[in-house]
Amino acid sequence: MTNPKYHVFVCTSCRTNGVQKGFCFNKGSVDIVNKFMQEIEDRELSGEVMITNTGCFGICSRGPIAVVYPQGVWYGDLTPEKVEEIVERHIENGEVVKEYQI
């Protein structure tokens, strides 16, 4: 996959030394990454969507956080249920899920 339609970045509080600790990590962000990956695979969107875990975005109070590019839409306070809805509405149908947007 060299040019995905969407690229989703999810904060997992990964530090430069490789240690994961911090607000998003403690709030289950690894589960959020896994849920994005599962939804993308289940919907056969692997060729269109790339999922990447990141370090801190700097707005920890809204975590876990994901940013969807190319639009640059920020989503916060994520749960696995919200991820499912974001994949369905935003990734599959091109509709920003405004109620989760930050």
pLDDT in tens, 44-72: 999 999 999 988 888 888 989 999 999 99
From first to last of the 102 residues of the chain, give the pLDDT tens digit: 568 999 999 998 866 666 666 777 888 888 999 999 999 999 999 999 999 998 888 888 898 999 999 999 999 999 999 999 999 999 999 999 999 999
Q: State the Cα–Cα distance between residues 26 and 1, nearest whole angstrom.
A: 31
The residue type of 66 is A
**Structure token digits, residue 29:** 């962000």
Indicate whether 45 belongs to any domain: yes
Q: What CATH number corresponds to the domain at position 22?
A: 3.40.30.10
Instruction: For residue 36, give its domain range.
Output: 6-100
Residue with tokens 């149908």: 93
This model's pTM is above 0.75 = yes
Indicate whether 36 belongs to any domain: yes
Indicate whether 1 belongs to any domain: no
Indicate whether 26 belongs to any domain: yes
Q: How many domains does the chain contain in total?
A: 1
Indicate whether 52 belongs to any domain: yes
